[in-house]
Amino acid sequence: MAEVEKRTAVVVVGAGVAGLTVGNLLRRNGVDCIILERRSREHVEARQRAGTLDTRGVRLFREWGLAEVLDAGPTTEVEGSFFIDGHAMPIEVDEDDNESIFIPQQFLVRRLADIFLREGGEIRYQADVEPSGIAGASPAVRYRDSTGATVVLHCDYVAGCDGDRGATRGSIPAGVLTRYAYEFKYSWLSVLAAVPGKTSGMAIHTRGLAGLIPRGAENSRIYLQCPVGDTVAQWPDKRVWDELEARVGQSLGRGEILSKEVVALRGVVHEPMHHGRVYLLGDAAHIVPPMSAKGIHLALFDAETFAKAVIAQVRDGDPSLLDSYSDTCLGHVWNYQAFATWITDLMHNAGDPSSEGEFRKQVARAELRRQFESEAANRVFSELTSGTA
Ligand SMILES: Cc1cc2nc3c(=O)[nH]c(=O)nc-3n(C[C@H](O)[C@H](O)[C@H](O)COP(=O)(O)OP(=O)(O)OC[C@H]3O[C@@H](n4cnc5c(N)ncnc54)[C@H](O)[C@@H]3O)c2cc1C
**Residue 372 in 3-state DSSP?**
helix
Q: How far is CA 136 from CA 75, 141, 161, 171, 173, in A?
A: 46, 10, 18, 9, 10
* CATH T-level topology, domain 3-73+99-180+268-339: FAD/NAD(P)-binding domain (3.50.50)
Assess contact for 259 and 192: CB atoms under 8 A: yes
Assess contact for 295 and 50: CB atoms under 8 A: yes
Site to substitute for ligand 1 among 55, 123, 162, 187, most atoms within 8 A of C-beta:
162
Assess contact for 319 and 308: CB atoms under 8 A: no
Instruction: Enumerate the β-bridge partners of residue 357.
Output: none
Per-residue pLDDT of the chain (389 residues; tens, 9 = 90+): 678 999 999 999 999 999 999 999 999 999 999 999 999 999 999 887 777 889 999 999 999 999 999 986 665 556 678 888 988 876 655 556 678 887 888 889 999 999 999 999 999 999 999 877 676 667 899 999 888 899 999 999 999 999 999 999 999 999 999 999 999 999 999 999 998 877 778 899 999 999 988 877 788 899 999 999 999 999 999 999 999 999 999 888 889 999 999 999 999 999 999 999 999 999 999 999 998 889 999 999 999 999 999 999 999 999 999 999 999 999 999 999 999 999 999 999 999 999 899 999 999 999 988 887 776 666 666 566 554 33
Widest pairwise Cα distance in the chain: 67
Q: Is the CB of 15 under 6 A from ligand 1?
A: yes
Atom of ligand 1 nearest to the CA of 261: 1
Q: Is the CB of 351 under 6 A from ligand 1?
A: no
Q: Is the CB of 160 under 6 A from ligand 1?
A: no
Instruction: Using the mean position of ligand 1's atoms as its centre, give its distance from the Cα of residue 371 in Å.
Output: 31
Please state the CATH superfamily assignment of the domain spanning residues 181-266+349-385 in this structure: D-Amino Acid Oxidase, subunit A, domain 2 (3.30.9.10)
Q: Is the CB of 166 under 6 A from ligand 1?
A: yes
Q: Give the β-pairing of 157-160 and 278-280.
A: parallel
Atom of ligand 1 nearest to the CA of 128: 42
| Backbone phi and psi for residue 359, each to the nearest 5 degrees, phi listed first | -60, -50
pTM, entire model: 0.92
DSSP code string of 27-65: HTTT--EEEE-SS-HHHHHH-----EE-HHHHHHHHHTT
Q: Where in the chain is the domain with CATH 3.50.50.60?
A: 3-73+99-180+268-339
Q: In 272-375, which ranges are E strands?
A: 274-275, 278-280, 286-287
Closest CA to 184 of 378, 360, 369, 349: 349
Q: Where in the chain is the domain with CATH 3.30.9.10?
A: 181-266+349-385
